[in-house]
Structures are given as structure tokens and as C-alpha cells.
Amino acid sequence: EKVTVSVIKADVGGFPGHSEVHPDLLEACEGVLEDAVDEVIIDYYVTRCGDDIDLIMTHTRGEDDEKVHELAWNAFQEATKVAEDLKLYGAGQDLLSDAFSGNVRGLGPGAAEMELVERPSEPIIVFCCDKTEPSAFNLPLFRIFADPNNTAGLVLDPSMHDGFEFEVHDVIDQKKVILKCPEEMYDLLALIGQTQRYAIKRVYKKGDGDEAERIAAVTSTERLNLIAGEYVGKDDPVAIVRCQSGFPAVGEVLEPFTFPHLVAGWMRGSHNGPLMPVSEEEAHPTRFDGPPRIIALGFQLRNGELVGPQDLFADPAFDRAREIANEVADYIRRHGPFQPHLLSEEELEYTTLPDVLKKLEDRFEDLEE
Ligand code: 13P
Ligand code: 13P
Ligand code: MG
Ligand code: MG
Ligand code: MG
């Protein structure tokens, strides 16, 4: 009765520029996944946020399965052919290798996968972002699973009252650590506040049960720019969160997104901007290639089948968050090429700075003291 939900994503071409995925690419992916139903996967749903294609798949093969990853790889290859044919922008952008070699990790696509023991009722939410990076989930995941001001269940629900464990990845040194909340909350915050280095990879319910029973959330944490060694685009992330009956309610999982917090990404992957929650329909970032977007799709699992989706941010209750995001966008855009709108030097996806410094080398003089 274990089911795996795999969300594997890639940007294989934008339409136009980096704004959206052309519908023909989604159709190409659907064709590949449809042929694999009952062979490799149980069910699937193909969506997109901005220029990123998100393949939501269910199966019983576990996480990191070669067949499932190959299927996603093949879908992206087919979509790339269509993108090349249409001469879309950045065709094949996130596919950094010519050949598949067992797992999409390190090849460019991002993956969030969760093996779970399906409960009598299993509500899940799949989040997909564009124009930002995996640590954009740090603040909302903290609020959902550790902040009683956000999540009433931490106080009220006896089955959540003990709290949750956070698996945090150091994406630069490739190390991980597990921290428990509420008792290690300040240590956790000391790490995950540093969004350029630490990203929450998984959240577990506390206890000694099977991981597939305790798993509460998972994100994609690939750092595409570091994998490639040079700029190939921000690794626009995805996440899966389980809801209800010992996990936060659907509305508790969505609540942090009423605050459009600042995240890194946006234009040229090099600017801070507000994360705007939008419907699938409105997930085509255009203003200054943004602002960064997030969609939330709700499903109920039925023996691995995806019942849904429900487009959860297509709710007037999130209009105010969108208004605030627009106000913040106006405000921060007026900084032009200055920090903190611009990211710090190490976080820039590309820069002329080394060339400028080289050119001015002879003209720099020591300060007299
Ligand atoms: P209902 O009374 O609508 O079922 O809502 C219950 C609940 O817990 C909402 O958070
Ligand atoms: P993507 O990472 O979504 O491709 O965006 C890159 C970019 O340069 C946007 O301006
Ligand atoms: Mg792109
Ligand atoms: Mg993108
Ligand atoms: Mg990208």
C-alpha cells in the first residue's frame, strides 16, 4: 500500500522568452506519460508554472526509480524536439546531458519525490514555482510545520502537538542535518534564514514510525547553476506537502503564501522579488520576467490515482497577496541595478564585474591612510 508521488520538472524552452510553456510541449509530455500508464506509472498530471514543465506522477516503484526518471527524461526530450521545431527560447535549457544515466539528478531537471503509506484519505498539495530557487520554500515550510501563529493544529491537534523534524541541506557543501521543532527551532532558523546556502529538503512528523508514514513534505533542492558550473538558469523548484489528520490542514499549508515574501530569482535569475501566489491560468510571469510565481494544486490520492487537481490559489482570498506582491514589485523595482533588488555578487547568475575590474585594473589606486 505504499505509493510514490514524483514531481519532476524542467525548463526545455520558453514562449516567448522565459514567460510560459507552449501548449504543444505539454501535449508532447502527456503523450509520453499516457503510454506509460499501467506500465511504469499509475497516474499523472502535467502542468507548468511559467516556462517550467512539471510532471506529477504516481507509482509504486519508490523514490529515485530508474524507470520513472527515464520516463520523465524521455518526456522532456520529446518536448525539447517540439521546442526546437518551434524555435522556442532556450530549447532544452535544463537538459545538461545528451544521455540519460539512471537518474535525472545532476542532469538538470529537478525532482521532489515522496513515498508514502496512503491513508484512508490522503490530501496532498503540489507546489510549482518559476523565477526562484528551492530555498524559497524555507520560510513557508517553517511557518507551516513550526509556527503556531500560522498553524493552529500545532496547538490544537494532539497528533501534531509534538512537532516536526526538518531535514536541511547545505547545497554548497552537499551535507544534511535533521533538526527537531519546537526544541531546536532557533538552530533551525539560524540555518534556513541563510537561503543562499541552506534549503529544507524534507519535513517529517516526529515519532518512530516508518518514514513513509511520517513524511510530511519534500522539495526539489537541485542547484542547477552549480551542477553546470556555469549559468544555465535558476532551478525553479517544486514541493509536495501532505495535509490533514496529523498533518497541517489544507488551509494551514496555504496560509503562509498570503505573505508574498522576497525570494531570489526574477529577471536573469539575479534579483530579489516577491513570490506571488497565482492560479495555473495566471502562471505566466511577464513583468520584468516576473515577479516570481507559485501555483498550488490540490489532489486526493485514491490507491495512487490522482483525484484532482483543485487550483488552490484561484481563490479571491489570495487577491490581497497578489496586490501586496504588485506593490512590493513596484517598490523594489525602483532600486534598478542596486542591492538588495540585485543579488549579491556570488549569487548573480552572470555578471560583467570581472571584466569591468580587469579593464580598470591599472586605474585602481591604493587609498592613502
Ligand atoms: P468543516 O466544518 O467545513 O468540515 O471544516 C472543518 C475544519 O477543520 C476546517 O479547518
Ligand atoms: P528561468 O530560470 O525561468 O528560465 O528564467 C531565466 C531568466 O533569465 C529570466 O529572466
Ligand atoms: Mg527559461
Ligand atoms: Mg523557469
Ligand atoms: Mg529555470
List C-alpha distances in Å: 288 to 17, 275, 300. Answer: 11, 14, 36
- Residue among 204, 234, 235, 311 flagged as catalytic: 234
pLDDT band at 300 (very low <50, low <70, confident <90, very high): very high
Question: Phi and psi (nearest 5°) for 296?
Answer: -135, 120
334-345 burial by CB neighbour count: b if 16+ within 10 A, else e? eeeeeeebbbee
What average pLDDT does range 36-63 have in this prediction? 98
Which of 194, 342, 197 shows the shortest CA–CA distance to 271? Answer: 342
CB of 152 within 6 A of ligand 1: the answer is: no
Predicted pLDDT at 263:
98
Nearest atom in ligand 2 to 93's CA: 4
**What integer is the mean pLDDT of 262-267?**
97
CA of 153 to the centre of ligand 1 (A): 12
For residue 108, what pLDDT is reported?
87
Neighbours of ion ligand 5 (CB under 5 A): 11, 233-234, 236
Under the banding of pLDDT at 50, 70 and 90, the label for residue 101 is: confident
- Assess whether 235 carries a catalytic annotation: no
Mean pLDDT over residues 176-198, rounded?
97
Q: How far is the CA of 281 from the centre of ligand 3 (A)?
A: 18
Q: What cell numbers appear for 328 in the block?
A: 512590493
- Find the ligand nearest to 90 CA: 3
Strand partners, 170: 175, 198
- Distance from C-alpha of 319 to C-alpha of 330, rounded to nearest angstrom: 17
Q: What percent of the chain has pLDDT over 70?
A: 97
Catalytic position from the list 64, 187, 206, 231 = 231
Distance of CA 206 from the midpoint of ligand 3 (Å): 38
pLDDT of 225 reads 60
**Which residue among the candidates 11, 43, 54, 147 is catalytic per the annotation?**
11
pLDDT tens, residue by residue, 167-180: 999 988 889 999 99
* Strand 122-130 relative to strand 215-219, pairing: unpaired
Pocket flag, ligand 1, residue 324 (CB < 6 Å):
no
Q: Is the CB of 18 under 6 A from ligand 2?
A: yes
44 catalytic residue (yes or no): no
Q: Which long-range contacts (CB under 8 A, 24 or more apart) does 25-29 make?
A: 25/53, 25/79, 25/82, 25/83, 25/88, 26/53, 26/79, 28/75, 28/78, 28/79, 28/81, 28/82, 29/53, 29/55, 29/75, 29/76, 29/78, 29/79
Given its phi and psi angles, is residue 269 left (phi above 0), alpha (psi -120 to 50 degrees) or beta?
Answer: left
249 CB near ligand 1 (under 6 Å): yes
Residue 233 pLDDT grade (very low, low, confident, very high; cuts 50, 70, 90): low
Q: Indicate the average pLDDT of the chain.
A: 95
Q: Which atom of ligand 1 is nearest to the CA of 251?
A: 10
**Residue 250 near residue 153, CB atoms below 8 Å:** no
Query: Which ligand places an atom closest to the C-alpha of 123?
Result: 1
Global pTM exceeds 0.90: yes
